[in-house]
Structure 1
Amino acid sequence: MKTELFNNVATVDADLLVLFVPSEGELPAATAQWDEKLNGQILALREQAVFKASVAQTLLLPSTDAAQPAVLLVGTGKDALSDMKLKKVVGAIGSQIKGLPYANVALAASGLAVNERGSDNVNTLLAQWLNESFYEFKGFKQDDAEKTTKVETLLIEGDNEAAVKVGAATAAGSAFTRQLGNLPGNVCTPSYLASQAQQLGEEYGIEIELLDETKMDELGMHCLLSVGRGSDQPSYLIVMHYRGGKEDEAPHVLLGKGITFDTGGISLKPGAKMDEMKYDMCGSASVFGTMKAICELKPALNFTAVIAAAENMPSGRATKPGDIVKTMSGKTVEVLNTDAEGRLVLCDALTYIERFKPQSVVDIATLTGACIVALGSVNSGMYANKQDVADALKAASKEAADKLWQMPLDEEYQQQLDSNFADIANIGGPEAGSVTAACFLSRFTESYPWAHLDIAGTAWAGGATKGASGRPVGLLTQYLLAKAN
């Protein structure tokens, strides 16, 4: 689907025109201009309370004139929109237009007032969220062919092409992330993730390195390997290099947890909702999606993506509670719970990343249920060993309307990871579970600026709306674009 700009509702070539209507007061200029064409019909509908223009309310006005577009009225309420209400408005537009028989849809975006956001930023979010609203998980139902929308082009009112391009590219990355996340574990294995990296390499010309179990064993990555030992699926460390900056410029690195299915291993999870553990690779999926968005936008920076991919299964070969494994760093870990496996694959990957001498490292992981208890599904948890990395992520979070909350990484929490038998235990007891998981990772990041995003609560939704969210591709894309700028 194409996403383009237009600058005048009077001359836009569209089959459907989306106009924004506040519930009281004057109409926005573009809406007022069209209201004149309709002989005051929009104001009349509002005054008669046929269309009250409450937030996200919609009303379709079909056209009887082949030369004029149909009009979709969208309510914005009486005040400037919050980010949450803007998303609600965009969701209402998406649900309406994807089922209508219109190929070219134009949005009079100047009619949107959003708190603390300029028009260019609003247009980026419009382009992203509208494109995201067309995502459908396909490939496994007989009626998939019927899910295709008639919309071919989205036209957004504005004059900054780059803003819309960022939104569209982010949406493409988000769709890639959601598709990977939604795939079942019998399809999306560590080997499948490796093949997806190779496809990205072929499509965009980026350099791909695949470290198999033999190579990881030679490097001493026994902690990562311990997680996949119970599975018949081989583990991989996947490395993707985007080189858009200067040749000698150190990269920014994103690291994704790629547990393609997590049974908990010998510390077996309860059966209820275990199917959702196909989403335990959403950290890696978000890194894949961010790489796709960056490759589309081609910013001037060096960016390396690393995926620690394994499947956590119980078997006679599986790691047992109480086992001690050696990390690539030389530290030993007492595995008290095999269901705290994400930190075990990430710690070796964090050590491997030292060879890139990175400017910054951000790992993204569906790491702890404790983070869901603390922050729910609104904010991702963020930890950092350098405040400037945390501040950069906060700024990207604000720009992308992709929320995070900085959590503590105080030294006092580290003692919960003490072990009688090894350098470190892989769990820290019932208190502050998300914090102690971050403390574990922090012990492998002393040589570079680092942050950790715990996305256990934000990477997917359960219940009737079950599916991967695509977060935090928007945040990560904005973070990297800011580094380029």
Structure 2
Amino acid sequence: MNTALFDRVSNVQADLLVVFVPSEGVLPESTAWVDGNADGQLLQLRESGVFKAGLGQTLLLPSVTQDFSQPVLLVGLGKGEALSDMQARKVVAAVAGAVKGLPFAEVALASSALQVKNRTASEVTALVAQWLNEGFYNFLGFKQDDAEKATKVTTLLLEGSEESALKIGAATASGSAFARQLGNLPGNVCTPSYLASKAQHFEEEYGIEVELLDETKMDELGMHCLLSVGRGSDQPSYLIVMHYRGGEEGDAPHVLLGKGITFDTGGISLKPGAKMDEMKYDMCGAASVFGTMKTICELKPKLNFTAVVAAAENMPSGRATKPGDIVKTMSGKTVEVLNTDAEGRLVLCDALTYIERFQPKSVVDIATLTGACVVALGSVNSGMYANNDDLAADLKAASQTSGDKIWQMPLDEEYQQQLDSNFADIGNIGGPEAGSVTAACFLSRFTQSYPWAHLDIAGTAWTGGAAKGASGRPVALLTRYLLDKAN
């Protein structure tokens, strides 16, 4: 979808004009201009109670007056005070929800009326461009009436002058949509081989360098921990490596690593049947890495960035890894697999060792790792662990700017003893207490040679139940983190 800027409402040409109305007090300049051309009808609608302008309330005026026949969508701002991020997002979501089913191709949004607490005009432009584009996402391709659901909107116009911010917001939404689409695909379509093919498409489209390590190559490298996860599946596992080289030649990259379990049955430690369909989302860490790569390729910042995806399918079969099996990691450490459903850390640990060869400036892994993180933080914050204070601070700053929330969790040495094993160097689970923490502790044992952070997105990567769908998080956070590094 094309996204562009306009300077004033009086100058814009569009099929639909969207203006914002507070529930009390004076109208914003752009809304007042429309009200003046509409013989005061907007104020009359508010004062009569026909349109109370509650937060996110909408009212479509197909034709305001005979002289001003421009279709106008009114959107309520509530009491008209500066909005929180959550309120602003609700308002923008209301716009997208109201507009995407309408027969208008060009939509102009008088977005300068949106005042958001502790946000610069540039940040508001980027966030509105991102959230509005995200609001038009539909999962298409599997229903007979998909053609009818596709939006007619082709162009979004925002009021403002922050061109670079607009590009960041629109590109972030593009990457988020890519991540959501990958996440929402069923497990019989989105396999490890499918993810490998998407990396090859990126290579063709954007000219990045792609390496695909198949099972033979991983076996030669000693990545038996990663291979143990996919052993029960008929789908081959892959380590997918994508290099974006926008910085100085030879400059060490920043690395993102995504957990790509394209379907997780739990293996021999089989999950309950209820909601097991949602385990197609166990590759949302990988999806966010793909989405971030797409955004970075569109924005072309000056930095070197490597994306790594550890892709496997966790299935039970006669070949599957069993509880009590001991496998050797690429690092040489041995792992007693006490529970085959704690498989994410098994694919990530070998990938973390492989990443050492890049001598990275930083490494951030992203994984739907533990149900314990959902218990701790719900669906608001992603859990963040780090072995480096500067990296943690950089991620927190990127989180604040992007509005993609994280919360730092402890990585105290005392938790490590929960991973002790009688028979191997380390057990792959640490008991019922602090499950998200001990999972991060497991990964930390493979990250001593570089600054590292771990994002547990089990609670934020998708929504379950009737509203089931991938969120696209944390593409916005990761994009902002990398752009800050480029700047």
Taking the aligned partners of 2:23 and 2:67, their CA distance within structure 1 comes to 30
Taking the aligned partners of 1:198 and 1:474, their CA distance within structure 2 comes to 23
Taking the aligned partners of 2:66 and 2:253, their CA distance within structure 1 comes to 56
Change (3 A) 1:3 1:263: same
Residue 143 of structure 1 is matched in structure 2 by 145
Residue 431 of structure 1 is matched in structure 2 by 433
Residue 133 of structure 2 is matched in structure 1 by 131
* Contact 1:331–1:423 (8 Å) recurs in 2: yes
Residue 71 of structure 2 is matched in structure 1 by 70
Taking the aligned partners of 1:46 and 1:119, their CA distance within structure 2 comes to 27
| Alignment counterpart, residue 302 of structure 1, candidates 292, 301, 304 | 304
Residue 35 of structure 1 is matched in structure 2 by 35
Q: Secondary structure at the match of 1:10?
A: helix
1:35-59 deviation per Cα after TM superposition (whole angstroms, max 9, x unaligned):
1111211111111111111100111
* Contact 2:38–2:68 (8 Å) recurs in 1: no
| Alignment counterpart, residue 367 of structure 1, candidates 351, 366, 369 | 369
1:373-405 deviation per Cα after TM superposition (whole angstroms, max 9, x unaligned):
000011100000001111111111111111110
* Contact 1:223–1:325 (8 Å) recurs in 2: yes
| Alignment counterpart, residue 282 of structure 2, candidates 238, 255, 280 | 280
1:114-155 deviation per Cα after TM superposition (whole angstroms, max 9, x unaligned):
111111111111111111111111111111111121111100
Residue 417 of structure 1 is matched in structure 2 by 419
Taking the aligned partners of 2:212 and 2:133, their CA distance within structure 1 comes to 32
Q: Secondary structure at the match of 2:11?
A: coil
Residue 266 of structure 1 is matched in structure 2 by 268
Instruction: Give the TM-score normalised by structure 1.
Output: 0.99
1:234-264 deviation per Cα after TM superposition (whole angstroms, max 9, x unaligned):
0000000000000021100000000000000
Taking the aligned partners of 1:172 and 1:317, their CA distance within structure 2 comes to 40
Residue 293 of structure 1 is matched in structure 2 by 295
| Alignment counterpart, residue 475 of structure 1, candidates 474, 477, 486 | 477
* Contact 2:37–2:68 (8 Å) recurs in 1: no
Instruction: Give the TM-score normalised by structure 2.
Output: 0.98
Shift of 1:69: 2.3
- Structure 2's unaligned 5+ residue stretches are none
* Contact 2:259–2:367 (8 Å) recurs in 1: yes
Structure 1 residues 119-268: aligned runs within 5 Å: 119-268=121-270
Taking the aligned partners of 1:378 and 1:61, their CA distance within structure 2 comes to 35
Change (3 A) 1:444 1:65: farther
Amino acid at match of 2:60: L
Residue 56 of structure 1 is matched in structure 2 by 56
> Does residue 1:6 correspond to 2:6, yes or no?
yes
* Contact 1:15–1:68 (8 Å) recurs in 2: no
Taking the aligned partners of 1:304 and 1:402, their CA distance within structure 2 comes to 22
1:49-108 deviation per Cα after TM superposition (whole angstroms, max 9, x unaligned):
111111001111112659742111111111211111111111110011111111111111
Taking the aligned partners of 1:52 and 1:67, their CA distance within structure 2 comes to 22
Q: Which runs of 4+ in 1 moved over 3 A?
A: 64-68
Stretch of structure 1 that moved more, 429-438 or 81-90 = 81-90
Taking the aligned partners of 1:93 and 1:109, their CA distance within structure 2 comes to 11
* Contact 2:93–2:132 (8 Å) recurs in 1: yes
Amino acid at match of 2:72: V
Stretch of structure 1 that moved more, 451-460 or 134-143 = 134-143
Aligned residues, how many? 485
